[in-house]
Amino acid sequence: METWRPPRLRGNPLTRDSDRRERLALLVAVTVVVLTAPFAALLGDRVHQWQERLAVSQQDTRTAVTATLLADAPPPAGYPESGTARVEAEWPLPGGGTATGEVTAQRGAVAGDAAPIWIDENGAPAAPPVTAETAVVNGVTTGALSWAAVMGLCGLGFWLYRRMLDRRRRDDWSDAWDRFDSRHTPF
C-alpha cells in the first residue's frame, strides 16, 4: 500500500535538480518570514515602551504657554491660504519673568496675536510632548515595517535566485537541443 504524500513532494522522475533547489529556496524564504514575525512584534513593542517612557518624561518637563507675537507674520502664500512662519514673540516663564525668541505662528498673524507654544524646563520653545497614541502608532509602524522589510528582502532574494535557476535551465535546455540536433542531422 502506497502512503499518501502531497502532490508537490512526490518523487517525480521529471523533476530536475534545479526544481528541487527552487522548492527549497521557497521553503527557506517562507520559514524566515514566519519566524521573524515574533521578532518584529517584539521590536515594535520595545519602540512602544520607549515612546511611552519618552511621553511621560516630556509631559513632566514641558509646559504649554501662550506667546504674544512682537512682529507681524508674513502674509499667506499660495492656495489654500495657510501655513506657518517663524516670528519674534514673547512668552511667560513658569517661574516668573518672560522670554523672547522666534516661535511658529500662522501666516498672516499680526503683532499682539496669541500663539500657543510648548516650552521646556529652561523656558526654550520645544516640540509638543509625545502622546500615548503616538507611542502606539510608532510601535505598530516599526514592527510592521520591519516585518515588511524582511518579507521584501526574502521575496527579492527568492526572485533573484529563481531568475538564476531559470537562466541555468534555459542554458541546459539549449545545450540539450544542440546535442540532440548534432546527433540527428544528416549533415
Listed by start position, the domains of the chain span: 17-56+134-182, 63-119
Instruction: Note the pLDDT of residue 33.
Output: 97
- 117 with 98: CB under 8 angstroms? no
Alpha carbon distance 150, 154 (integer Å): 6
Q: Residue 51: CB partners within 8 Å, gap ≥ 6?
A: 130, 134, 135, 138, 139
Report the chain (187 residues): mean pLDDT per 10 consecutive residues.
Answer: 60 81 94 97 97 92 92 79 85 89 89 91 90 95 97 97 94 84 65
- Label the pairing between strands 63-69 and 114-119: antiparallel
User: According to the model, what pLDDT value does residue 187 have?
Assistant: 57
Distance of alpha carbon 41 from the chain centroid: 14
pTM for the whole structure:
0.68
